[in-house]
Structure 1
């Protein structure tokens, strides 16, 4: 059956319309896919940017936390330094007071030294006179000590404090002689000749000699400044006292003559 031209034209138009619609649908689908891809890509870009932003935020947060810890540590250090500075200020104040006292003392030192030097000279002269008038034990040693003090006073390389200490030390030695017992050997001029004798000193109340062979004994008389002969009855006690003084016997009671000046 043959269609009319009008019918054929209608069929052709219909087919053409369908083709156009199909092409439009395909174009729309492609466009939608492109838009979807763009949206997905935009979303990925947003996520990637958000991740980078989060990393930056985390890094900043870590820095803030670190700075906060440093701030707290510095505050504690400042508190400690404040306490330390307070203590140091108190010490400085005390040192300034001590410095002021030292300055005052130093100003007085020259005055004191001018007064001490004549005093020490008088003390040495007094000591020399005392040794000359005292019981004549250890004369060489004691006179040498006094002469040493006199020579020391002329020296400029010895401080006044050291000079005073040595003078007082010499006085202390003389004081100790009065409360100790001592035995020593030396030469003694007897009957015009020197003899080797043993000396016994009991404080300053008894000063006795005995010859090595025990044949002669004597006691110093403080009144006549000479030796008095002793009876042989003292020999046992004197020998015992000599051994006690030399620490060869334990301390014990002995009988010896004692001369006391009025």
Structure 2
């Protein structure tokens, strides 16, 4: 360990004092006895100086230890300060990122307000279009489809339903209408035939065919759709009875899917499809 200047000076003083004492003792042996008292006094003074130097050296050593302890503490604190500096830089980067996100959120909220003001008229137009479409479409499930549209109209006036939920329900209604075009379905209903209200089974195949059959199978009919959206029921030949019965059972999942023979109606034309 490198000694401080004070420690070096103390050590030099100690060595010098010791040398002086030994020199005095050696010199005292050579002097006559008459001078022994004086030499004894000199030796005693030298011993006192040496003792004082030893105490000074102890103080120097103690101060040196304290300096080393403080230096170690300084190094520890310096490392902590460096770590805190890096931590503060990271926190500042995160804070800057959060401020940027807050600004983007504020901008998005402003845009949402604009979109919300525009989406309500859009939904109203969508519901009106859907209502017109149901009126012009082939008349399958008329009560169910009409009720769905009316529910949407009522929903638009309710304040307890969020705009997002309203939009979801409108899209759901559109999705249901789209699905009708690629499914087969059988359901029961009442239809006036020859001036009588009769129970019939309806068969819908997408939007290309809508037929009915009375429970006893005595009457068959198909819906003829015109290009203007209007249409009417027309009687079918009994030749379609087996095909319609088979299609009804397939629609009700009573038979596995298979080829069926049913009439296809579109724009006042009728063809056969397999």
Unaligned runs of 5+ in 1: 1-52
- The 5-angstrom pairing of residues 143-154 of structure 1 reads 143-154=146-157
Aligned-pair CA distance for 1:145: 0.6
1:6 matched residue in structure 2: none
TM-score w.r.t. the length of structure 2 is: 0.66
TM-aligned CA distance change 1:95 to 1:235, over 3 Å: same
**1:131 corresponds to 2:137:** no
Larger Rg: 1
TM-score w.r.t. the length of structure 1 is: 0.69
Superposed CA RMSD in Å reads 3.3
2:39 matched residue in structure 1: none
Aligned-pair CA distance for 1:146: 0.4
Q: How far apart in 2 are the matches of 1:73 and 1:238?
A: 92
Q: How far apart in 1 are the matches of 2:124 and 2:222?
A: 34
- 1:146-178: per-residue Cα shift (whole Å, max 9, x none)? 011101111112222221111111111111111
Which of 177, 180, 183 pairs up with 1:177?
180
Q: How far apart in 1 are the matches of 2:134 and 2:194?
A: 25
SS class of match (2:212): strand
1:246 matched residue in structure 2: 252
**Aligned residues between the structures:** 214
Which of 225, 232, 251 pairs up with 1:226?
232
SS class of match (1:121): helix
Q: How far apart in 1 are the matches of 2:77 and 2:199?
A: 87
2:217 matched residue in structure 1: 214
Unaligned runs of 5+ in 2: 1-57, 269-274
SS class of match (1:259): strand
Segment drifting more, 181-190 vs 196-205: 181-190
